[in-house]
Amino acid sequence: MHAQDRIFVAGHRGLVGSAIVRRLQAEGFSQLLLAGRDRVDLRDRDAVEAFFAAEKPDVVFLAAAKVGGIHANNAYPAEFLLENLQIQDNVIDAAYRHGAKKLVFLGSSCIYPKLAPQPIREEYLLTGALEPTNEWYAIAKIAGIKLCQAYRRQYGFNAISLMPTNLYGPGDNFDLQNSHVLPALIRKFHEAKQRGDAEVVMWGTGTPRREFLHVDDLADAVVHLAKTYEGEDIVNIGVGDDIAIRELAELVKDITGYAGTIVNDTSKPDGTPRKLLDVGRLEGLGWKAKIPLRDGIEATYGWFLEHQSSLREV
């Protein structure tokens, strides 16, 4: 990428997109195209076509997606599959046809089989059954990967696909029904502390293990790979370490200052037993995570406290 490039960050208001914008701005990229849904609905093929015809971006970061946790995936399977397919198909195709020199597609670690060997290597894609609680989103993201690879093979389009692990950080969704586990825990413990609750109920057994990457680390990795990587193979982006959900809850409890007890609701689903990414390919490409988990959660809790009155809930 060059400083004068016109760069479209699709999904710039979301957790990932906003972090990519911050990273690009910090590195001096000033020609950023930041169009929200009020200007271009990425699910609408005609709207996307008109936008690309008018703006002609040189580089596209495809961070737009319909996202959510276990509850949201179970409740809205048709929307998670259809809307993500629409967004991906429209943006990837328009980027190619209107001459973008590079596209960076952001996927998710949920693309891998539920019982994949740990840590999960990129070549484990499509080697087993998906986790049923998020298969709709996963199938859409797998289709996006394959579309990027197909456009590269058939048309020579320089599209790369990056697979982040579980993310958190400023700009996250803290809605208790539709958010991912870490922001949900931050809000749960904070509000329980405010109310003086004796206990906090946590979904599942607490035994599944998860890997968490601060979104600013992700953005740093994404921009690094946008500059340096041009392969067809997908690249995992993670920290290479994980934590049990129960241990995570204890950590968040400590950071928020909640003094009560944690109770597990074992009637609720656990999801995938473990999901740790192998980051050997990423580290071989010259990048490694920098933000420790406790430091990142403390900073995220600080952001939460500052923005409670205007939290994004979807």
Instruction: Say whether 165 counts as a known binding-site residue.
Output: yes
127: Cα separation from own chain's centroid: 22
Of the residues 96, 112, 124, 137, only one is catalytic, namely 137
CB atoms within 10 A of CB 193: 16
12 is in an annotated binding site: yes
163 close to 122: Cβ distance less than 8 angstroms: yes
**Type of residue at 50:** A
- Domains of the chain: residue spans and CATH: 7-171+211-241+276-291 (3.40.50.720)
Residue with token string 């009020």:
38
Distance of CA 155 to the CA centre of its chain: 28
Residue range 125-136, pLDDT digits in tens: 999 999 888 899
Indicate if the pLDDT at residue 312 is higher than 60: no
- Kindly report, residue by residue over 222-239, the tens digit of the pLDDT: 999 999 999 999 999 999
Active site residue 137: yes
Mean pLDDT to the nearest integer, 26-54:
95
180 marked among binding-site residues: yes
Residue for token digits 């931050």? 186
pLDDT of residue 274: 85
What are the two backbone dihedrals, phi and then psi, of residue 115, each rounded to the nearest 5 degrees? Answer: -110, 35
**For residue 141, which of 76, 67, 200 has the smallest C-alpha distance?**
67
140 close to 154: Cβ distance less than 8 angstroms: no
**pTM score over 0.95:** no
Does the annotation list 267 as a binding residue?
no
Q: What is the pLDDT of residue 314?
A: 44
14 labeled binding residue: yes
Sign of the Cα torsion 102, 97, 89, 129 reads negative
